[in-house]
Amino acid sequence: MVRLSRRFLESYMRGETWEVSGLLHPEAAIRGTGEVLQYAAYSQIEEKEFRLLCRDVNTAVVEGNVLMEERSGKGEQKKGWNVLLLWERLGQEWKIRRVQAVWNKERKSRSLSVHAVNGTEVFIWEKQICYIEALQSRSYIHCLHKTIAVRTSMQRIGELLSEQFIQIHRSFIVNADAVEAIRRYEVKLFDGTCLPVPEKKYRAVKEQILMRKEVF
């Protein structure tokens, strides 16, 4: 699977999609790879590293780190990309269900600005946030060591956060990095907190978590 992921990406970046079309799921989605493909037209790929992040009976995720060297009139610049490939079992075969490429710079933690219920403006690093909860007329941002009640709606907070945060329920948004396990029909966080996932959203939520989960 790791070897096939490498083969797929190499062919895709050369524009030779017919070479690997048989690896794609009928409902495959490819996201964020336009710029990678563009760079491939005039850049040299110096290094590729692929590894299997996780696997269960029907799904698996392969991560690839691509370091590219851009050569232009301004000299040489190196740009790293993180590529995640979600594989799904289709009958007796494994097919690529989703590909997502993210420029490594985009994965750095950002700061979120919100107003607490006492009127104070609070700045919170995304990496400190475990999950956000909507309860009655307030939102609660549950961080590693504290919980902050804010005036901002959960929907608005979700719009301000990066793609690392996933809405798993109408009342909960979770940080994929804080998820320890996902099972029917809930996610378990590293601090032991279990949050519900509606049955109708379970498959989509699981796919999103697998695509964003970082394993060190």
For the chain, which domains are there?
2-106 (3.10.450.50), 109-212 (2.40.50.1020)
Task: Find the helix or strand (DSSP H, E) in which 115 lies.
Answer: strand 111-115
Please state the φ and ψ torsions of residue 117, each to the nearest 5 degrees.
-65, -20
Q: Which tens digit of pLDDT belongs to each residue from 17-48?
A: 788 889 998 888 776 655 555 555 555 555 55
Q: Which two tokens stand for residue 56?
A: 């269960």
Residue 74 contacts residue 51 (beta carbons within 8 Å): no
Residue 88 contacts residue 97 (beta carbons within 8 Å): yes
List, for the chain, all residue ranges whose pLDDT scores fall below the cut of 70.
Answer: 31-48, 68-79, 102-110, 213-216
Q: Which tens digit of pLDDT belongs to each residue from 139-164?
A: 999 998 789 999 888 988 988 888 88
The pLDDT score that the predictor gives to residue 148 is: 92
Residue 15 contacts residue 83 (beta carbons within 8 Å): no
The pLDDT score that the predictor gives to residue 167 is: 93
pTM value is 0.58
Classified as helix, coil or strand, 84 is: strand
